[in-house]
Structure formats: C-alpha cells, structure tokens
C-alpha cells in the first residue's frame, strides 16, 4: 500500500540531477562546436617571403648580314677524248716448228675403164695416144703436164722461204696441231694453187701464204722434173 508513495518520492529525487547533466552535456557540445567554428574562421599568420628581383639578361647580338651572292659563271663542258687502245701485234718468241712429213699413200679412186682403152690412159684420151701426152699435141712435145705425186717420184725439197707465223687469234686460243695443204709445185719449184685439206683454226691463210713464198726443187720422175700436185703436212706447235 506504501509502494506508490515511495515511488513518487524516488522520481522526485531523480529529476534535478538529470536536468543538470543534460545542461552540462549541451554546454560541452556547444563549446566544441564554437571552438571548431572559431578555429576554422581564424586568420592564419603567413610568414613574409623574400623576393629578389634580378636585372633582365642582355639582348642577343644581331645576326650577321647575309653573304653577298657571287654571280654564277657558266661551266664550260669538258671535251672528253675517247681512249683508243693501241693494238699491239704480239709476235711469237720462237718460230713455230714445222714438221714436214712425206705424203702418205692416199687411196686413189679407181675409174672404170672404157672398152677398148689402154691401161694407164687418161679419161677422154684418144686411142693410140701416148700416156702423159697432151690432147691434140705432138708426140714428144715439151708442154708440161701436171701429175699426182706418188711413191715412184722423188719429193720436192725446200730451197728457201719463210716458216708459217702464228696469228694473234691462234696464239690467244693456243692452237696447235697438224694442217694438211695440197699445192701445185711447178718445174721451177714455184708453189701455187694451194687448197686446205685438213684445217687448223686461225692458221689456214698464214700457212698458205708461207708456202706460196717458198721455193722447192721440182719433183723427179725417173730423174726427169715433173709438175705435181703435192700434199704438204705441217705440224704447228706453240712457242715455248
């Protein structure tokens, strides 16, 4: 029955202290806000900065005046003379060796005889003529007749004349070997009418010219000089 009375007194005792506590907390919060606001709006003291002014640098020197343009002189074209290489004729140090060999027995074509002809006669000859005679001539006449050289004859012998000289192209290509030339050797030993039977590169003309400048003894048939078709076999070797 006395609980209500005691409870009212306790509530009355708690009232003033609670109010004081609220006021103190409110005052503390207000002071904190005021202090923060005052500090934020407080003007700071800045230290003075020393500024030193230096004089500006001197202006750069003016650029040099442009160089005077020299008048261009027209260039005269140079005349170029082409160099002509002189052709030097190279002669061999040594005369090429010429080995003349006696003509080999060449197979002769056998002509078919004519009925009623004479053995050893000439095709187209007249029956009753003399072997070695000239058609329409006199027996014992002096007109020479050309004959093919054979083993029954004495071959011509060299009397005088040059040896074949190597040409520049033959030396350049190192040509050497055997060349066969067939020529006419007259009763006076003159050589003419040469034709090449076996050629040698770049040397045919040189060999023919050398042979036609030579002189030989005539070929002999039974001790009598005769004009013959003679085969020259010349072996050419490069000079050492």
pLDDT digits 0-9 by tens, 73-96: 767 666 655 454 444 454 555 555
Sorting pLDDT into bands at 50, 70 and 90, what band is 52?
confident
Residue 209: CB atoms within 10 A of its CB come to 13
Sorting pLDDT into bands at 50, 70 and 90, what band is 14?
low
Query: Is residue 188 scored above 80 in pLDDT?
Result: yes
Query: Is residue 222 scored above 50 in pLDDT?
Result: yes
> Could you tell me the pTM of the whole model?
0.43
Query: Is residue 159 scored above 80 in pLDDT?
Result: yes
- Mean of the per-residue pLDDT values for the chain? 75
């Amino acid at each position: 029955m006395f609980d209500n009375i005691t409870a009212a007194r306790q509530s009355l005792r708690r009232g003033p202290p609670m109010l004081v506590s609220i006021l103190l907390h409110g005052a503390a919060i207000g002071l904190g806000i005021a202090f923060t606001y005052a500090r934020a709006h407080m003007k700071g003291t800045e230290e003075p900065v020393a500024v030193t002014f230096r004089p500006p640098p001197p202006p750069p020197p003016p650029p040099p005046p442009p160089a005077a343009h020299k008048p261009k002189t027209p260039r005269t074209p140079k005349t170029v003379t082409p160099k002509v290489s002189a052709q030097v004729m190279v002669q061999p140090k040594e005369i090429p060796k010429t080995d003349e060999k006696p003509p080999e027995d060449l197979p002769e074509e056998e002509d078919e005889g004519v009925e009623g002809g004479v053995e050893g006669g000439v095709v187209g000859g007249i029956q009753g003529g003399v072997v070695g005679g000239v058609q329409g001539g006199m027996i014992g006449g002096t007109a020479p007749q050309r004959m093919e050289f054979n083993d029954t004859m004495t071959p011509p012998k060299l009397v005088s004349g040059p040896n074949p000289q190597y040409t520049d192209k033959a030396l350049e290509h190192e040509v050497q070997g055997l060349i066969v030339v067939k020529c006419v050797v007259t009763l006076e030993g003159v050589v003419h009418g040469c034709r090449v039977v076996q050629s040698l590169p770049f040397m045919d003309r040189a060999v023919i010219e050398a042979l036609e400048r030579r002189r030989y003894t005539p070929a002999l048939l039974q001790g009598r000089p005769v004009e013959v078709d003679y085969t020259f076999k010349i072996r050419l070797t490069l000079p050492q």
